[in-house]
Every structure is written in structure tokens, then in C-alpha cells.
Structure 1
């Protein structure tokens, strides 16, 4: 009887299996990194929103910072929409398009609170609205 072959070199099937496993691991690594990077803007924005909530006050500067935070988040989410160039009704429309469940009246009040002397929305409600947008966008 001839001697049984050693384990090296492996049969062609093992080489094919090794290539498939390596390609699968590379693809999985790439997908996980992409998933992590896509959620990074949301985590960063939620941290900034928590910091804003901690010092909430009903003045125009606070509402302007909240709107700036939402614009940065919208730009990170989809740069092709150019949210930093929008204001007024266009900005309201973008927020409503990305998350249609938001109330038009509340979104409009949030956007206008940055320059109105007496905001029509409380800071806690505005922060809750921003949080909803960040979770669903």
C-alpha cells in the first residue's frame, strides 16, 4: 500500500474554501466599519444635544445653537441636500421631509425661535423634537 499523503499541500477544495473565508472576512470588516462610520454623526449629535439640554434656556442664542446642531447633523447625514445653505421655510421643509412624523407647527416654531424675540416653543420641547429628528433621520 502506498503511504497516505501528508496534510501539505492541501487539496484544491481547501484552497477555494480559504479564499472564500478571506473574502468573507474582508467584506464583513468593511461592512462593520461602514456601519460604525454611518452612525458616528448620530452619536456625536446626540452628545451635543445632551450638552445643550443641560444648559437649556429660552433665548435666541440657545435656539440658534440647536438649529446649527441639526444642520450639522443633516449635512453629515446627506451632504447633497446642502442644509447649511437653507433657512426659513426651506429648512423647515427639509426637516419635515427627512422625518415626516414631526409636527409642522412645532418644526416651524423651532426654526423661527432662533430669531423671534418670544419663541413659540419651550427649550425642552425643542430638544425633544431635535432628539426625535436625530433618532429617525
Structure 2
């Protein structure tokens, strides 16, 4: 009768084998999908911002080229003025700044400038006048400084 004892047939407790590394649990798959989606969204946002500010990088390059060849010639001031108009057209397309001239163009530059307007007005007026007069009456360094300040204030 002893061999019929059910307790004698019991064995020691055996722990289950530890889980392997692969395949991961469903929660890890969900986390992986969320991280990949987040990376794609961030990459698209960065790409869009870079594309949106491409004109600014090109303008900085052209501004540096003008800075290397600073001149008192009206042609230099005309190039600087043309660069500012191109940038204004990219940044403010609805206001049609490329069609502005004279005091309207000066007012536009001052209104969109991050710098103090009353200090910059004589510099901007001299820069604009110097682009079409036979002899420039503006200081190219001051004009370049204003143009750089204006350009850096145009970031999107």
C-alpha cells in the first residue's frame, strides 16, 4: 500500500528556464515603432526648416563675399541693395519688397530690422542713395554692418 502513496511520487520543484533575449515582448516592439516614428518626424522637421532657410544660408555666403571686396563704388552698394531685396522677397513675399524703392524701401528695411530704427535711418538712406549715385556717400562698413544685422533678424 505504500507504493500507492501519491506523495511518494512527487518530485522536487523545478524552476522554469529563463526567457531568452529573442523575441522581445510586444511592449518592446511598440516602443521601437514609437522611437522610429519620432526620429522620422524630427528628421522631417529639421529638413523642412533647412529647406525653408536655404535662402538665408545663400545670402550669408553672398554677404561674406561682399565683405571680402568692400568698396566705395556705387556698383558695390547696388549689389548689397540687390541682395537685401532678394532676401526681403524670400522673407516677405506678400509685401512685394523687390518693387519698392526710395523712402518706401528705407522704411521697409527699418520696420523689419531688429536694430534701433532711429540710429540706422541715416545709414540705410546713404546706402540706398549710394547704389545709384556716381559717387557713394555712405560708409561701406556701416552699410555692411546694417545689412548683416538686418539679415540675421530675418530668421524664420
Fold shared by both chains (TM-score > 0.5)? yes
Q: Which runs of 5+ in 1 are unaligned?
A: none
- Asked if 1:70 is matched to 2:87, the reply is no
Q: Report the alpha carbon displacement of residue 29 of structure 1 after superposing the two structures with TM.
A: 0.4
- Asked if 1:126 is matched to 2:143, the reply is yes
Q: 2:46 aligns with which of 32, 48, 52?
A: 32
Q: 1:106 aligns with which of 119, 123, 127?
A: 123
Q: For the aligned residues, what is the CA RMSD?
A: 2.3
- Alignment TM-score, normalising by the size of structure 2: 0.73
Could you report, residue by residue, the CA deviation over 1:18-63 in whole angstroms, capped at 9, with x for unpaired residues? 2211110011101221232344322221221222222222222221
The alignment covers a number of residue pairs equal to 136
Q: Which runs of 5+ in 2 are unaligned?
A: 1-14
**Which structure has the larger Rg?**
2
Using the alignment, how far apart are the partners of 1:88 and 1:100 within structure 2? 20
Using the alignment, how far apart are the partners of 1:11 and 1:75 within structure 2? 54
Using the alignment, how far apart are the partners of 2:76 and 2:16 within structure 1? 85
Using the alignment, how far apart are the partners of 1:15 and 1:80 within structure 2? 47
